[in-house]
């Protein structure tokens, strides 16, 4: 069973990431801890990218913030 994370847990996970951006290929490298990577991997569905997972988490947090 996968435990649902609270908004605080998700925000904390995403806030701890470092980031570098390259305009040429429109991708960004985000460095996360091994534990965070494992947690993100648990949320992936077959065919999902980490971008899909992070986008879903952000949509969830931003939607909750609007309520």
Distance CA 7, CA 64 (A): 8
- pLDDT on residue 17: 53
The domains of the chain are located at 7-66
Model confidence, pTM: 0.58
Distance CA 20, CA 12 (A): 19
Predicted confidence (pLDDT) per residue in 3-61, tens digit: 555 655 655 555 555 555 555 668 888 899 999 999 999 999 999 999 999 999 999 99
- pLDDT on residue 36: 95
- CB-based contacts of 12-17 (< 8 A; 24+ apart in sequence): 13/39, 14/54, 14/57, 14/58
């Amino acid at each position: 069973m996968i435990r649902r994370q609270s908004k605080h847990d998700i925000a904390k996970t995403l806030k701890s990431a470092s980031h570098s951006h390259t305009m040429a290929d429109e991708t960004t490298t985000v460095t996360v801890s091994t534990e965070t990577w494992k947690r993100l991997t648990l949320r992936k569905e077959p065919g999902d990218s980490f971008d899909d997972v992070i986008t879903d988490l952000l949509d969830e947090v931003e939607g909750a913030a609007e309520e």
